[in-house]
Structure 1
Amino acid sequence: MKTIILPLAAAACAMCAAQGAFAQSTPTGVTLYGIVDGGVEVVTHSPGGNGGTAARVSSGNMSTNRWGLRGVEDLGSGLRSIFVLESGFELDTGVSAQGNRLFGRQAYVGLQNQYGALTFGRQQTAIYEMFGAFDAFSTNARYSLSAVDAAFNGRADNAVKYKGSFGGLTTIGYYSFGRNNDGEVPGSPETSRDVGGGVSYSAGNLQVGVAYDQYQGNTQAIRQRNAKRLAAGANYTIGQVKLFGGYRWLQDQGADSATAMGTHTNLYWLGASYQLTGALQLLGGVYYTDQRHGNQDPLLAIVGADYAFSKRTDVYTKLAFARNRGNSNLGAAGVGTVVPDENQTAFTVGIRHRF
């Protein structure tokens, strides 16, 4: 083995040194960027205490808070090295988001050319990356599609991902060896595995997309259990109006729980945005979940307005209503943010700055 490995290692080192000498003479760029978003929120039937009305400072109402570093280096012949390190945080407390991770939103490195990008690290799933375009409130906001299903804001650790864009066509495929820092079990490749992909297409005023995601149980005992999602969405622009709609099928066998009995639901949503003036935008969306083997069927309705002072700073307001029954607990900001079987009304007003 040494007679094979040592020459290969020496050759690899020589190639890296030669490439490094070349790369130093080519342009290199690193960009610092981010979003800071916060305001005041009032919500009814909030969990904790007596389940009454809560008033508080809220974080990430229109866009989740983040700061990041994005880098690119031209390696010649159309080839570039790329990286992203992106950190989420809660504005009201200053703590890191995504389980208190430093770079919990994204952390990857890879290569890119005219045929696409191949990247390695913690990355967004296809459903997350594609479906922000098919929700009036995007999937990065507190009151949005991701409140109904957190998978629309999903990421996978230990992932290899390909993304390519060819005219109006975009394709994504990825494989995670351990989606939540709990996989990569020797001799058990199924444990915590996540695989998926998607395709979107834009033509004129129309954009459509479809994406699939399947992940396995996060321990060896439940590695055969899985959660499967298939989603399709579209948007269409008519003058100052943009229409949104979509569907998501879910079959969850309890991939994250040794006791869960499984879930089969259909999610439907519609939305619209209207650019009333150059600075003022009105938004609305309705999200309905059909639980196939139960009578909970929660519904979330949201309206909002956004006023841009500039390209970087805007103020906004949102009003949401969540209807629950049969012990469901969907709140305006997500599952578990309301007392079970209670309806919730939520109102927020805030400011967002991009840099």
Structure 2
Amino acid sequence: MKIKLFAAAAAALFAASAQAQSSVTLYGVADVGIEYLSKANGATKPNNSNSRVAMQSGNMSGSRWGLRGVEDLGGGLKALFQLESGFSVDTGAGSPDGLFNRIATVGLQGQFGTLTLGRQSTPMYDFGLRYDPMSISPRYSISAIDAGFISRANNAVKYVGNFNGLTASAMYSFAYDGQEIAGQGSKGREYGASLAYASGPFDIGAMYEQRNTGELNARSASIAGGYSFGPAKAFLGYRYARGGDWTVRNSQNQVTTTMAKVSSNLLWAGMAYNMSPALKLTGAAYYQDARRVSADPWLFVLSSDYSLSKRTDVYLNLAYARNRGDSELGLNGNNKGRLTGIALTNTTSDGNPGNKSQFGAVAGIRHVF
């Protein structure tokens, strides 16, 4: 009798463990290359044309490592978590923003979709990954002209659902900067949503996001699409933003003019073409028109990516930032030409927009594990 009871208990435990199967996966990306950048002195020496050659980590993709886990709870319900940390291949240093600065979430997944809590990407970031021809490459992409496309939020609740080609996403952050302060409920709040639909060769989506800083409410709205034909895919998009400050400075770095809540229109177009199973070519153009100020920069990008295997590829990216008026768009984000709640400045006084333009080239290798 005791043997029968023991066998029954063992069978019950085995069945429970079978239903609650779990797994943890270690993954990551190591991306490093050599970059040439003209006029690398930037605002420090606005009339100096000194160039720079340097090793850079995270060019096609941000270098990172992470842990992803899932547990089957039965009935189609799963528990999941993800921890992801950025690092620099050239120095081995981690991010100053914290250990798991990219992602730190736990949540549930089922037929209803996926619900996660923690630090995670915003709908604007996910939207950019889908519709930017360069997929928000750190060098070079739409993020150079609008930093909002690489945003992440702390203390966030996020939902993503997929329904027969329709992808719906919504996020609410109690304090995107991690500062939850009593009596200041609206400060630091961020929320956004997006809808995307893909059918056959067509892919179209729309997004809205708002970030409350306490003094400014930075808003962004975008619509974009893609169309695949043969080995190519074309992209077209538009983004409206409002909420940035424009601060004009002279050559002595003195503030001469400040305009609050400047709005801008950003247009982009591009195409990705698979010349062969291993070689992919991508071209993109971005144009931003800042309202009420003379700042209308262009950004042009060409990229070639060759796969050596399923996990390893080599690449060469070229970019040119064409500044007009008071804009100072830099290729690596050291610019002051962004409008999603970030101040804008002009530190050149020669009055020649051509002197403020910049060329960059980066060649490197990326390994995915």
Given the two structures, how large is their TM-score scaled by the length of structure 2? 0.84
Change (3 A) 1:55 1:254: same
The structure 2 residue matched to 1:93, chosen from 69, 91, 94, is 91
Secondary structure at the aligned position of 1:189 is classed as coil
| 1:236 counterpart letter in structure 2 | Y
Provide closer, same or farther for how the CA distance between residues 157 and 215 of structure 1 changes in structure 2, counting only shifts above 3 A.
same
Q: Which residue of structure 2 aligns with residue 191 of structure 1?
A: 187
Instruction: Name the CA distance, whole Å, in 1 between partners of 2:128 and 2:23.
Output: 29
Q: Which runs of 5+ in 1 are unaligned?
A: 1-20, 218-222
Whether the 8 Å CA contact 1:40–1:349 is kept in 2: the answer is yes
The answer to whether the 8 A contact 2:294-2:326 is kept is no
Residues 1:237 and 2:237 are matched in the alignment: no
CA deviation after TM superposition for structure 1 residue 197, in Å:
0.8
Matched with 1:6 is: none
Which protein shows a greater Rg?
2
Please name the residue that 1:320 is paired with: 319
- SS of 1:233's equivalent? strand
8 A Cα contact 1:38 1:57, kept in partner: yes
How many correspondences in the alignment? 325
Tell me the distance in 2 between the aligned counterparts of 1:303 and 1:52.
23
Alignment-mate amino acid for residue 159 of structure 2: Y
Matching residue of 2:204:
208
Give the AA of the match of 1:283. T
SS for the counterpart of 1:128 is: helix
* More moved, 169-178 vs 132-141: 132-141
**Runs (4+) of structure 1 moved beyond 6 Å?**
none
| Separation in 2, partners of 1:303, 1:326 | 24
Is the contact made by 2:19 and 2:72 (CA closer than 8 Å) also made in structure 1? no
Shift of 1:24: 8.2
2:78 matched to which residue of 1?
Answer: 80
For normalisation by structure 1, the TM-score amounts to: 0.87
Deviation string 1:179-217 (CA, Å, 9 cap, x unpaired) is: 0122x2112210110011101111011111111110111
Gaps of 5+ in 2: 1-14, 247-257, 338-346
Aligned-pair identity (%):
43
Give the Cα–Cα distance (whole angstroms) in 2 for the partners of residues 73 and 132 of structure 1: 27
Q: Which amino acid aligns with 1:312?
A: R
How many angstroms does 1:150 deviate by?
1.1
Q: Is the 8 A contact 1:209 1:232 kept in 2?
A: yes
Q: Secondary structure in 2 aligned to 1:132?
A: helix
* Alpha-carbon separation, structure 2, partners of 1:156 and 1:290: 27
Residue 141 of structure 1: CA displacement?
A: 2.9
Q: How far is the alpha carbon of 1:262 from its aligned partner? A: 2.2
- Counterpart-to-counterpart distance in 2, 1:150 and 1:253: 12
How far off its partner does 1:178 sit? 0.4
C-alpha contact 1:269 1:285 (8 A) present in aligned 2:
yes
Quickly say closer, same or farther: Cα 1:253–1:63, change in 2 above 3 A: closer
Alignment-mate amino acid for residue 109 of structure 2: Q
C-alpha separation between the residues in 1 aligned to 2:315 and 2:285?
A: 19
Match of 1:344 among 336, 343, 358: 358
Inter-CA distance 187–26: structure 2 relative to 1 (3 Å threshold): same
Contact 2:19-2:73 at 8 Å conserved across structures: no
Deviations 1:315-343 (A, max 9, x none): 00011100113332211222428985511
Equivalent residue, structure 2, for 1:284: 283
Establish whether residue 142 from structure 1 lines up as the match of residue 139 from structure 2: yes
- SS at the partner of 1:261? strand
Moved more, 203-212 or 43-52: 43-52
1:354 maps to what in 2? 368
